[in-house]
Structure 1
Amino acid sequence: MSDAGYDHAAVERRWQEAWDDADAYRTPDDVEDPTYVLGMYPYPSGKLHMGHVRNYTITDAYARYRRMQGDDVLHPMGWDAFGLPAENAAKERDTNPRDWTFDCIETMRDQMTAMGFGYDWDREVTTCTPEYYQWNQWLFRRFHEEDLVERRDAEVNWCPHCETVLADEQVEGEAELCWRCDTPVETRELEQWFLKITEYADELLEDIDDLEGWPNSVRQMQRNWIGRQYGSEVDFEIEGHGPVTAFTTRIDTIYGATFFALAPDHPISEELAEEDEEVRHFIEHEADPDGDEPNGVETDLTATNPATGEEIPVYVADFVLSDVGTGALMAVPGHDERDHAFAEKMGEEIVPVVAPEPEDGEDPEAPDVDDAAFTEDGVLVNSGDYSGLDSETARERLTEDLESAEHATQYQLRDWGISRQRYWGTPIPVVHCDDCGPVLVPDEDLPVELPEFINTTGNPLDAAEDWKETTCPDCGGPAERETDTMDTFVDSSWYFLRYVSPGLEDAPFDLERANDWMPVDQYVGGIEHAVMHLLYSRFFTKVLADHEGLEHREPFTNLLAQGMVQLEGEKMSKSKGNVVSPQRIVEEYGADTARLFMMQAAQPERDFDWSEEGVRSTNAFLARLKEMVEEYAAPRAAEDASGEEPRANGYDGGKDAVASYVDAEIDATIAIADAEYDDLTFNKALRETQDLTRTLRQYAEYTEPHAETYERGLSAVVRLLAPVAPHLAEELYDELGNDGFVVDAPWPTAEVDRDYVEKRRRLVENTREDVRDIVEVAGIEDPERIDVVVAPEWKYDALEIAIESDADNLIGELMGHDHIRQQGDAAADYGQDLQAEREALERTLGPDEEYAALESAAWLLEREFDADVRVVYAEEVDESVLKNAEPGRPAIEIED
């Protein structure tokens, strides 16, 4: 034993070496359908942080639990190894991204081993190796063959600090900051490569409903990001420019369109800016799509409202976005809050054309929209022949009747721009030929490998002249390689498939094995990936299902988005100086302590505060448990050492009521912990396990334990802790005389109904609490005897009748039963109580079950109050005591 309680370093080192020697976590290729447990692989930044530790402890604990349940488990790890941070770090240190990345990987792999994570390291993937990224290039070719790749000029998000393009999903917050460096993002016009994720927009959206194992919040975030809207497109004629199409979800309000608005980058706006100084000044200096108020400038143009024939003014407005709808909109200030605010600012007319539904027989009355827009559906007014129609019917009629109108569907989702102007990523397998244009590199010439890193400003691939110069695969003439690399989210969109066959040389993954092993059964990662990574992974999986024979259209069956680890209510970050080092915690307290504290502190989905006091308490618990096992196992250890018969050492008590209580608690703990582990609510399972440990300790202090019961309890505790505290669990499992690893041991089982368990526990705890209250209120300092009186059987019958009954007169129904009516006033009084609490009534144990439960738990009261405790049936006491006894709440009589 060390000063901290036990030598955690020696224990952890011993079992890590034993696991490694035995290849304990390897998943053979010939298993049929393993349980696939996966944590989102990390970017190798150099050191694990507490978020990593929590994420990977969750997956490791669940993988160990499933393994002990008898499953073959696939639990791999790899590295999201490409990315701009490594490139920037290499530039700052005058090294190269490859060396930097692999140094970081080595450090983090060692830390993961120190944490005891049970990975099949034979399946490790590293995305920056040619053996991996050649398949990114191969997939790019396959997508291109299926017309899912496009190269075009586009206005893109540009980070001036990172000097690269960002996807929409990588621009964060209302301030539109780069997700990597928090620099304000600009827009630029560049020629880019796109993957046509919009081709799958409908399926991506509709299949969200089938992701029942995903958090609702994540599913809603994906729905919102795809942003499908049903509506209509309709043309407004603009003088000198012809028809301009607007998209609207509320064509029923078209009679109230009093002005027309164009996005600042709409072609007509840009044309006007060349001639109109006010328009140019607004576009270049005033337009702010993220501003608090809508802003715009009136033009000299007018548009013709196709419903009314009236000419309405045309504005260039910053609240109109070119990538939402058509970049042009009909503005209806009477029925849209944003349009209303703009109309007030510009002095435009506000006309109500939809009224609230009137009462039966009354005419609709136009709402007052001077101060606020009426935004609900209703009945049309001031709308010509369409007045009197409800909004839904009017939308259909107007779309049919207006010559240019037609039904349309719009999406917020845009195609995925994957071009990045940086070195440390997958080279896009394209060469540019003056005669042939962009030409794909043939499969046989893959991978296109990265050249040596050149430390320069901008994109280092542009400076790699020898690498850029090549020949065209089509005509053989001179050509240049594409110098953009792929967005690293391409790497992570299919990495989970590579784990099934990481060494395969002629395909990205073994299709037959992927069809057997996929989808991932349990995926764990941060909520920050709810849109980008998860959406792209779903897209890739669907494309591979359509064109490469994958039999699954969704990659992840169950998803857990784990919460953050905080310090004093704030997210840990280097900039705030509030980072707790996992390495320090492991060195000072041990990996098991860190793992157990994290898992017991909160449900995995919730944020929680790191607490040094909590860590110390957790460490003390593990030390006490080790001491309990050592004390029990000492006779066996002595026998092994000397060959003599073991001493009883106090563990030879009889199988009495106390042992029965402990047996019941062991069963209850196993049943509840099993269910909670299955639901990944580890904190509840661990609380149960710690409570059982406390009960076993109290049992040993109270009496001579029954050896079989006590050892069964210790064995259950050790195995229930094994997924979270695996090193110490291995040590204690061994000390209890077991062969093999606890990771391969069978999960403890108990044939007990959880509902029964909870009723029994509630009965015992309520009874103990009632005794405490009576002792305190009555001022009894030294009770000599405590009688616990089980209610008479007729009250249990009355309770059951009350629960089942739907009669208005419950007392009358109760009195219809002879054996209850015969109780006279007692039955009437109890019936009134049941009537008053009718909505809250719950079933309890039966009288014999209550008696047995209280009898076995009597020792807890004896231990707490140092008094004789009797559990008695109703017929053994007089009426004055009995009147207080109810099902689930026995009467208490105390003598001092």
Structure 2
Amino acid sequence: MQRGRTYNHAKVQEFWQFRWNEEDVYELDDPEDPRYVLGMFPYTSGNLHMGHVRNYAITDAYARFKRMQGEDVLHPMGWDAFGLPAENAAYERATDPRSWTDSCITQMREEMETMGFGYDWSREVTTCEPDYYRWNQFFFREFYDEGLVDYRGAEVNWCPDCQTVLADAQVVDPPEDVDVHDHAEGVCWRCETPVTTRELDQWFFTITDYADELLDGLDDLEQWPDSVTEMQRNWIGKREGARVAFSVEGYGDVEVFTTRLDTICGATYLAVGPGHDLAKTLAAEDDAVADYLDEHDPESMTGVETDLTATNPVTGAEIPVSVAAYVLDDVGTGAVMGVPGHNERDHAFATAMGLPVRKVVEPRGDGTVEVDVETEPYTGAGRLVDSEEYSGLSTAEAHTQLLEDLDSAAVDTQYRLRDWLISRQRYWGTPIPVVHCEDCGPVLVPEADLPVELPEFVQSRGNPLDAATEWKETTCPDCGEPAERETDTMDTFVDSSWYFLRFLSPDLDDAPYDVDLANDTLPVDVYVGGKEHAVLHLLYIRFFARALSDVGLLDHQEPVERLINQGTVLHGGEKMSKKKGNAIAPHEYGAETTRLFVLSAAHPNRDFDWAAKDVGEAYDLQQRIYGLVYDFADGEPTTDRDGPAEQYLERELDRTVAAATEDYERFRIHQAIGEVRGLAQLLGQYRAYDVPDRETYRHGLNVLLRLIAPVAPYLAEECWNMLRAEGLVVQADWPTVESDLEAYDRERTLVTTVRDDVRDICETAGIDDPERIELVVAPEWKYNAYEIARQQSGDSIVSAIMGVESMRERGEQAESYAKSLEGRGHGLEPILSRATETAELQRASWLLDDEFDAEVVVHEAEAADDQLASKAEPGKPAIQIS
């Protein structure tokens, strides 16, 4: 292969892809508890975008790193291939969803291979294939038998544009330019159309059965981002409180849920939500209520007063009843006791509607704290006032006493979490394995008849399966009479709730996955994906693991041990998006430059802005590394020497390996690349300083290539080959540390600080061309004094140091130094020993010689002028420049 001195990955990528495939370097045979590294598999949109590249570059770098450390690594890839966008795309292009999806997969796989991602393609899964989705249907049957499936009429979220229902988690906050008035509280997560509601018979997974388990399990997810666990905690929304009944004139009891039963005497109104039975009853006879139900804005603090009154069960007071938009039908009981003096939302509603505000709780203390609840509600704890016989009690005492005294009050726990609505009125999804029989009702399709495959696609508005008459007509498995297939398909989040299990045994015919293998392999060691999936996906996989455990198909209830959320790639301060016209295609700057840049720009969980300058730096790093290896392989002069420069370089190689290894392990990949960048610069400086020692320099290049291999595999492989190193770099051993590096960070800090100090002195003194640089290491007694100071916790540092006879003998000199240490306070950082500091400065002296072209002398205090030596301190040698 003819090479030039400029590196171009496009010229070598096909060759190295061929070699990697020929060697099966990424395939894992019969894994036994491998390191499972997984990126959230992509929806088949047709092109990789920069978010994909960042996600998969992170997992690829870590997988390559672990593989080089000698571990068995499972790093698979597949396709989240069902979903409405494919159906819409097919409709727009007058084709069918499968053809569109297959073409997208082909293109995305080619792009992934071009990017150099090292996947075990032998484990590829595609969720729209019958051999995959048959197991969705199998799980449906298993969950049904376990009592985890429900079929019922419900008011559901409906997207008019997608013509399908949405789960609560798929209704998202609207963009600023979308008006949601007269609609439900949000927009469709896919198309941003304002969502409405409908009453439909639907299939649900009863995820609410696991509310407490899912909540408690969050405490065990120590390697998940706090933001994700908090989002799930809030989504589950457990609230402990009480139910209590208010008697409504002419209607009967209306139960409310409250977390502040202690404030019941401050209730000045009762409000029910638009979906409450009382509101519907009133709408039949009150035009004002009927109009409000039709036209209300769910985001507003509006309401309509009724002619009814309710009786406060404690005070006996008659309070007005309203229908209010802010009372949510699916939260609590759909009714609230309005306590505007001590609840922010109640206060806002009362202010808007002109309802009275009462203070029944005031802060505990000396009585000097006054609260004006007319202006702002007081929501804290305290003691009760104006609360009948409960006045004077603490809020906690009053809550307990009221539960005992009120016959209609009872302890209650409420959740925000709702059952998972899985029915979708679309074609491109898993058919729900049910037939509807007039006599038998809904009947499961027998396991032997799975999979229920999708019929040929028919273009239609709404649900295409309704138009598939021949497919829809069938017989009842129970009675044999004519019946109809269920025409709803499953939410595609069902597909992605267990795909990580199928990767373990993708070709298994008689089970969804090898249970024993799953129990040995799970949890997934590292899972990388966007924070936006905290509820839409991550809550569902946790539910699925628990449900599978309950049906005897899995031992693990938490499927993922470590979660990494990758940040967003911005351009011009905004997320890259085709809609916004600011997207940059991954291939635009070249695959390797792109992946090197997205990994070096920031910590994986941070957002960063695409900048051409920073991309240029990634390109320059490749060229620098390639040039170093190319020139060495081309026969540049070398020698055979083992002097201070070589000793420093060997030690710095070890320090770099130690730092980069820790960075890769902790997913600080941007810092690992920084280590590589520094090492490449140092090797170039060493080569330019003098004719390099061949073995030292070759060893340095060898280490450099192995450290860069996880993030720039084509470059590393091409250079590894030029270096005539053994085998493939992807299969090479990760470099190890050869020396004792307990204090490597302090050694680095010492050299960096000294070089900075020399520059500052030259600049301050106006020395443009120094001839001699003298570095003087402090006397031994100062190191001893420093260690005495470090060990002090309570006593005076000066007293402790001067309490040592050898220090007292030094008189004012020792006392002055002790006072300077005491001035720094306790918690002094560890320092190098005197011998180590001296040796490190001697090894690093060539760097100052190279930079300033000056004679560099390093010696200890005893060999220096007394005045100069007196200025030296541990970790900060005295410096004299002439």
Question: Shared fold by TM > 0.5?
Answer: yes
Q: Residues 73-472 of structure 1: matches in 2 within 5 Å?
A: 73-173=73-173, 176-285=186-295, 287-291=296-300, 294-359=301-366, 367-472=371-476
Calculate the TM-score normalised by the size of structure 1: 0.95
1:498 Cα deviation (Å)? Answer: 0.4
One-letter code of the match for 1:446? L
Distance 1:78 1:495 in 2: 8
Contact 1:652 1:704 in 2 (8 A): yes
1:453 Cα deviation (Å)? Answer: 0.6
Distance 1:781 1:445 in 2: 87
Distance 1:562 1:747 in 2: 25
One-letter code of the match for 2:306? T
Residues 730-773 of structure 1 deviation map (CA, whole Å, 9 limit, x = unaligned): 12222222222211111101055666111111111111111111
Distance 1:756 1:397 in 2: 63
Residues 306-360 of structure 1 deviation map (CA, whole Å, 9 limit, x = unaligned): 111221111111110110000001111111112122222333221111111123x
Distance 1:830 1:814 in 2: 9
1:717 aligns to 2:704 (yes or no): yes
Distance 1:7 1:252 in 2: 73
One-letter code of the match for 1:850? E
Residues 583-617 of structure 1 deviation map (CA, whole Å, 9 limit, x = unaligned): 2333xxxx222221111111111111222332233
- Partner residue in 1 for 2:503: 499
Contact 1:352 1:366 in 2 (8 A): no
Distance 1:113 1:814 in 2: 65
Contact 1:659 1:706 in 2 (8 A): yes
Q: Residues 543-622 of structure 1: matches in 2 within 5 Å?
A: 543-586=547-590, 591-622=591-622
Contact 1:356 1:364 in 2 (8 A): no
Contact 1:792 1:875 in 2 (8 A): yes
- Partner residue in 1 for 2:177: none
Contact 2:717 2:729 in 1 (8 A): yes
- Partner residue in 2 for 1:843: 830
One-letter code of the match for 1:520? V
Residues 257-297 of structure 1 deviation map (CA, whole Å, 9 limit, x = unaligned): 11111001101001101111111122212x22213xx1111
1:691 aligns to 2:678 (yes or no): yes
Residues 29-54 of structure 1 deviation map (CA, whole Å, 9 limit, x = unaligned): 2x311111100000111111111111
Distance 2:551 2:687 in 1: 65
Aligned-residue Cα RMSD (Å) equals 1.5
- Partner residue in 2 for 1:22: 23
Which stretch of the first structure deviates more once superposed, 114-123 or 794-803? Answer: 794-803
Instruction: State the SS of the aligned residue for 1:738.
Output: coil
Instruction: State the SS of the aligned residue for 1:125.
Output: coil
- Partner residue in 2 for 1:655: 642
Instruction: State the SS of the aligned residue for 2:751.
Output: helix
Instruction: State the SS of the aligned residue for 1:505.
Output: coil
1:576 Cα deviation (Å)? Answer: 1.3
- Partner residue in 1 for 2:490: 486
Instruction: Tell me how many residue pairs correspond in the alignment.
Output: 871
1:109 Cα deviation (Å)? Answer: 0.5
Distance 1:184 1:261 in 2: 26
Which stretch of the first structure deviates more once superposed, 365-374 or 597-606? Answer: 365-374
Instruction: State the SS of the aligned residue for 1:859.
Output: helix
Contact 2:125 2:506 in 1 (8 A): yes
Distance 1:279 1:755 in 2: 76
Distance 1:248 1:580 in 2: 51
Which stretch of the first structure deviates more once superposed, 420-429 or 806-815? Answer: 806-815
1:712 Cα deviation (Å)? Answer: 1.4
1:364 Cα deviation (Å)? Answer: 9.1
1:812 Cα deviation (Å)? Answer: 2.3
Contact 2:268 2:339 in 1 (8 A): yes
1:366 Cα deviation (Å)? Answer: 7.1
Q: Residues 472-871 of structure 1: matches in 2 within 5 Å?
A: 472-586=476-590, 591-635=591-635, 649-751=636-738, 756-839=743-826, 841-871=828-858
One-letter code of the match for 2:594? A
Change in Cα spacing, 1:617 to 1:676, as seen in structure 2 (3 Å) is same
- Partner residue in 2 for 1:39: 39
One-letter code of the match for 1:521? D
Change in Cα spacing, 1:807 to 1:560, as seen in structure 2 (3 Å) is closer
Calculate the TM-score normalised by the size of structure 2: 0.97
Contact 2:74 2:120 in 1 (8 A): yes
- Partner residue in 2 for 1:640: none
Change in Cα spacing, 1:366 to 1:9, as seen in structure 2 (3 Å) is closer
Change in Cα spacing, 1:254 to 1:613, as seen in structure 2 (3 Å) is same
Distance 2:112 2:454 in 1: 29
One-letter code of the match for 1:112? M
One-letter code of the match for 1:224? N
One-letter code of the match for 2:120? D
Instruction: State the SS of the aligned residue for 2:116.
Output: coil
Instruction: State the SS of the aligned residue for 1:838.
Output: coil
Distance 1:839 1:278 in 2: 73
Distance 1:445 1:337 in 2: 56
One-letter code of the match for 2:690? T
Distance 2:587 2:783 in 1: 58
Contact 1:130 1:449 in 2 (8 A): yes
Contact 2:793 2:826 in 1 (8 A): no
1:87 Cα deviation (Å)? Answer: 0.3
1:623 Cα deviation (Å)? Answer: 2.1
One-letter code of the match for 1:26? E
Instruction: State the SS of the aligned residue for 2:494.
Output: helix
Distance 1:618 1:136 in 2: 44
Contact 1:803 1:841 in 2 (8 A): yes
Contact 2:683 2:697 in 1 (8 A): yes
Contact 1:357 1:364 in 2 (8 A): no
- Partner residue in 1 for 2:878: 891
1:624 Cα deviation (Å)? Answer: 2.3
The runs of 4+ residues in structure 1 deviating greater than 6 Å are 1-4, 363-366
Aligned residues with identical type, % of pairs: 56
Residues 476-509 of structure 1 deviation map (CA, whole Å, 9 limit, x = unaligned): 1111111110000000000100001111111111
Contact 1:165 1:421 in 2 (8 A): yes
